[in-house]
């Protein structure tokens, strides 16, 4: 009797999950399996029907200079955007946590880049980075700073993308930290101030550790964003110059749609999936255990 009941209850649970599961199967699992399948085939303009080549596509990618560069770029992009935007967001949240009129205005203006679509942001920054009459050039000329060929040099294009991304994302992450701060009970701070703890000490010993769950959440969002968001590359650089701003997702798009190379695109997708899976495993099995909720 008891067993039957649990089965029944579980049944309802599964049934409630069914609608979401259908979407997951249609748009996540099925395409994933298809990509894995296609990654073993040579499938391009010459062979639209596909020819089985085993692991050749993987060998090709591992030897491909562009793919290596793209992986490297993505790593730099992640290292450049994730810690900086998290620290900036945390700093802004701690500073603006007190409800005052000016803080409300500041919060709104910091959050504002989040509501603009990335394509529009890219167009704004395209103008800022324009070498001859762009905003930065004018600014630099006025203050006697050196001109920087932001999007024209292999050296500067990545910093240009990183700055844009931080500008766009920090305000968004700030919201999470503000919410996180609301959950820290006030009496802890009161007792700390009675003990005469300094501001820096309070932050290091109270605020920062208690914000850790939020930080982890934001970290995951930021990390996946660094792989997921490539809209600005379409608008600003198309991966150039010489693939210096090419990221893995754009590389996949390029191979699939511009070059028509389905096999290589599928193989790169599979590699991306494996990397993301590894990151989430590390997250759930290692980082998660070190945080006290």
**Which residues contact another protein by CB under 8 A?**
8, 12, 15-16, 18-19, 22-23, 26, 44-46, 48, 65-66, 130-133, 149, 151-154, 237-238, 240-244, 254, 257-261
Nearer to another protein, 22 or 291 (CB): 22
Q: Do 39 and 58 form a contact (C-beta atoms < 8 A)?
A: yes
Closest distance of CB 11 from another protein, Å = 9
Closest distance of CB 48 from another protein, Å = 6
Nearer to another protein, 25 or 277 (CB): 25
Closest distance of CB 240 from another protein, Å = 5
Q: How far apart are CA 110 and CA 119, in angstroms?
A: 19
Q: How far apart are CA 235 and CA 245, in angstroms?
A: 12
Nearer to another protein, 154 or 190 (CB): 154
Closest distance of CB 201 from another protein, Å = 48
Nearer to another protein, 66 or 87 (CB): 66
Closest distance of CB 152 from another protein, Å = 4
Closest distance of CB 272 from another protein, Å = 20
Closest distance of CB 122 from another protein, Å = 15
Nearer to another protein, 123 or 224 (CB): 123
Nearer to another protein, 18 or 286 (CB): 18
Residue 84 corresponds to which tokens in the numbers above?
A: 């900086």
Nearer to another protein, 153 or 224 (CB): 153
Q: Specify burial of residue 266 (Cβ count, 10 A radius: 0-12, 13-18, 19+).
A: buried
Q: Which residues contact 60 (CB under 8 A, 6 or more apart)?
A: 264, 267
Q: How far apart are CA 232 and CA 126, in angstroms?
A: 9
Residue 75 corresponds to which tokens in the numbers above?
A: 């790593």
């Amino acid at each position: 009797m008891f067993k039957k009941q649990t089965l029944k209850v579980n049944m309802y649970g599964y049934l409630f999950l069914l609608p979401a599961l259908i979407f997951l199967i249609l748009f996540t699992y099925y395409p994933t399996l298809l990509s894995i399948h296609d990654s073993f085939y040579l499938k391009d303009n010459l062979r639209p029907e596909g020819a089985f080549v085993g692991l050749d596509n993987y060998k090709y990618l591992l030897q491909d200079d562009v793919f290596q560069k793209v992986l490297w770029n993505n790593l730099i992009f992640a290292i450049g955007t994730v810690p900086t935007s998290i620290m900036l967001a945390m700093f802004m949240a701690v500073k603006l946590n007190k409800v005052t009129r000016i803080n409300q205005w500041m919060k709104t203006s910091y959050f504002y880049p989040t509501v603009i679509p990335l394509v529009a942001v890219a167009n704004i920054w395209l103008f800022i980075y324009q070498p001859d009459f762009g905003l930065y050039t004018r600014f630099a000329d006025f203050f006697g700073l050196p001109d920087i060929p932001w999007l024209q040099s292999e050296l500067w294009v990545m910093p240009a993308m990183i700055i844009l991304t931080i500008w766009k994302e920090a305000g968004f992450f700030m919201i999470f930290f503000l919410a996180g701060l609301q959950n820290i009970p006030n009496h802890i701070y009161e007792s700390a101030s009675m003990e005469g703890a300094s501001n820096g000490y309070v932050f290091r010993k109270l605020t920062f550790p208690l914000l850790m769950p939020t930080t982890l959440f934001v970290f995951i969002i930021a990390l996946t964003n660094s792989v997921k968001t490539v809209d600005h590359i379409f608008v600003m650089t198309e991966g150039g110059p010489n693939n210096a701003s090419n990221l893995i997702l754009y590389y996949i798009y390029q191979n699939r749609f511009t070059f028509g190379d389905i096999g290589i695109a599928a193989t790169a997708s599979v590699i991306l999936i494996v990397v993301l899976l590894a990151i989430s495993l590390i997250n759930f099995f290692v980082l998660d255990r070190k945080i006290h909720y």
